Structure 1
Amino acid sequence: MKKLIALLLVAFSANAVYAADDCAARAAEKKLAGAAKNSFMKKCQADSGAAPENAECAMKAKEKKLAGAAKNSFMKKCSADAAAK
């Protein structure tokens, strides 16, 4: 089961990286900066079906029924901990 989750995370990460690169290139073409760029990137990645940076952390946050600032804080810490492994 852990191997399956690891494989899914790798697949989602690859998709997210590709989507982020594509969206960043499109934002550069449009010469966006600041809030306009952030808004465009968020919408572009959502439209492209990019997975969250860390699907496992997202699942844990959902299990804990976190929302808003608590979820953001949890996701940031969880992603940092996962990157440190």
Structure 2
Amino acid sequence: MKKFFAAALLLAPFAFQPVFAATAQQQKMAACNKEASDKKGDERKAFMKECLSSKPKVSEAQKAQQEKMKSCNAEAKDMKGADRKKFMSECLKKSG
């Protein structure tokens, strides 16, 4: 009986993953629906298609972080293991 509960506890997080994905899609649908409230017919259909297929916008801060990550990765290309991890940590903490 204990083995059953242990297995159930280990598998429980995987059982609910589709629910979270559907919720994210539902939230996107609701947001697009709200934006399209003043549109009708083909205009609404085209807007909804574009809105639902669009990727989230990336902020300037996120772009800066991505650039910093690329730069640090390029500098650490020959490093491995703990040395790389330490270097990346320090490099990413540096400002600008």
Question: Per the shorter chain, which TM-score range?
Answer: 0.3 to 0.5
Which TM-score applies when normalising by structure 2? 0.41
Which TM-score applies when normalising by structure 1? 0.45
Kindly name which structure, 1 or 2, has the bigger radius of gyration based on alpha carbons: 2
